[in-house]
Amino acid sequence: MKDSKRCGYAAILGRPNVGKSTLLNMMLAQKVSITSSKPQTTRHRLLGIKTADQVQVLYVDTPGIHGDEPRAINRYMNRSARSAIRDVDAIVFLVDRTEWNSDDQLVADSIANSKARIFIAVNKIDRIKNKRELLPQLSRIQELVPEAEIVPISAATGENVQELESLVEATMPTSPFFYPDHQLTDRSERFMVAEIIREKLMRQLGDEIPYALTIQIDNFKRRKATTHIDATIFVEREGQKAILIGHKGEKLKQIGSEARSDMEELLETKVMLTTWVKVKAGWSNDDRALKSLGYDDA
């Protein structure tokens, strides 16, 4: 039938910091996945739901697949990303315009036996003045993954993203929609506000501390036109706690203010945000601690 609906899953895969979350946000025309310039910003799988006319694509944003697994959280992120490969109809494998490294090869190896249609999105082409410079890289990628269809894109500017989406949509099987056509993600508001706080911390703090922290939402209640949120930020050492809080609490106050602004936009209410910083030594290398902190979707 001409008007039959189609719906299916497409996994967005790639090494850390290659632009997966930026691509998802561009495709949805709304920010649902946090971003920063630091690798491994994404820790959890997140479903982005794109509904257009008679097609619904469930894009699975994943943590970056990486070879170095020094802690339990790194192993968790790799498991989470690889588990997204199962039972999807399409795979969007995001790579950089200039480089193919060992982590890219790990992703390629992970999808080698997949029955899904594979699209390799060569990202950040907006940074190339002469597009002919891309040709050697495109040829190399095609040799490495001959079954893939290659699409040069810019996740940041949107260049060729619509073309990529059209190719993905064409692979979706005939099926009723799995979600209402207005829904953008499967994640709860509670999860989203925790991620907002973590994004501000990732962007404001140095290289070490963002990887030693995680967020727990202790209270989330709507009262009339105000949402009251209590959050605990866990770090692994006292020194990290002192840096995060800052002189007379100024750093934490600034981060809280920026997070509250984004939360009010998301929730469309006034937000009263209270944050605490606590030390939970070794949480990132403890499987039981990870599970208790919500790292259990792999």
Domain with CATH 3.40.50.300 in the chain: 6-170
pLDDT at 132: 83
Q: Parallel, antiparallel, or unpaired: how do β-strands 55-61 and 46-52 relate?
A: antiparallel
- Confirm or reject CATH 3.40.50.300 for domain 6-170, answering yes or no: yes
| Ranges of CATH 3.30.300.20 domains, the chain | 189-292
pLDDT the model gives residue 2: 54
**Contact by Cβ (8 Å): 33, 81:** no
Cα separation, 262 vs 244, in Å, equals: 20
Q: What is the CATH number of domain 189-292?
A: 3.30.300.20
Residue 108 Cα to chain centre, angstroms? 19
- Residue 146: what pLDDT? 95
Q: Name residue 292's amino acid.
A: S
Predicted local confidence at residue 1, as pLDDT: 46
What local confidence, expressed as pLDDT, does residue 208 receive? 80
Low-confidence ranges of the chain (pLDDT < 70): 1-3, 297-298
The pLDDT value recorded for residue 98 is: 86
pTM for this entry: 0.92
Under a CB-based contact definition with an 8 Å cutoff, are residues 214 and 234 in contact? Answer: yes
Tell me the C-alpha distance between 73 and 289, whole Å: 10
